[in-house]
Structure 1
Amino acid sequence: MTNSDWLSMFPMAKLYNLEGSSSDHSPIFLIPQVSPRLNTQFRFKFENAWMSEPMCEVIVRDGWSGEVDNNILQKIKICSQNLAVWGKEITGNFSGRIKACKAEMKQFRGGEMICP
């Protein structure tokens, strides 16, 4: 009743033979449970906060001017991959930077002045 394509789409499917009448046929009950698919496709998200980082422009410029033979889609892909790697380092530091800014704001609210 199935083939390999169907089984790969519904690996967790359950089939039950139900009790029938006096006939030699019995009804079946199929539950085609679809296994959750993991999204393995890379999805790039540009963070506007990166614009204030000088390294962002350098990464885009290097990715855009790297290979002369690359078409526009390849250049966009290279830029997005390079920005994603670099961005993880910056984004990972966002929480620490936010914490430091909040502490500084708290000191200002308390009337304390911070002089460099």
Structure 2
Amino acid sequence: MPAPLFVRFRSATANARGVQVGVFALANGLARAGRLSADEYALWRRSNDWFEAAYAEPTLADPAVYDRAVHPGAVAWFKLTAVELIQKTTLYTELLDAHQVAWERVETADPGRIVHEDDVQVVAVPWRVAT
């Protein structure tokens, strides 16, 4: 079996569309629902701002990268070489833990059909839905 090249931090269970959403979306949901304390919210906001400044959003390169009709089930995977990005993700997992939101870390050598790639991540359509 090939060594893992990618990591994803995602919900422990699938949503209604069958997708295990990433921890950024889960934390954003807590913020939108007003479930974060003032301190947690400030930390979450600063962290989101940092990520937005440090890393390009895949939709800037391809607005359709997450389009369900074009790339059904597409999700982002971090490259294991993106050490800083992975370390900074800890803030989100800690927020989820504090609010009893189940998440998991998964690693793979083959995330699916890659539809976007940059220095730190890929967006891939899982093989079970890839066409």
Please tell me the TM-score bracket, short chain as reference: under 0.3
Q: Which has the higher contact order (CA 8 A, sep 6+)?
A: 2
Where is the helix percentage greater, Structure 1 or Structure 2?
Answer: 1
Structure number with higher strand proportion:
2
Query: TM-score under structure 2 normalisation?
Result: 0.24
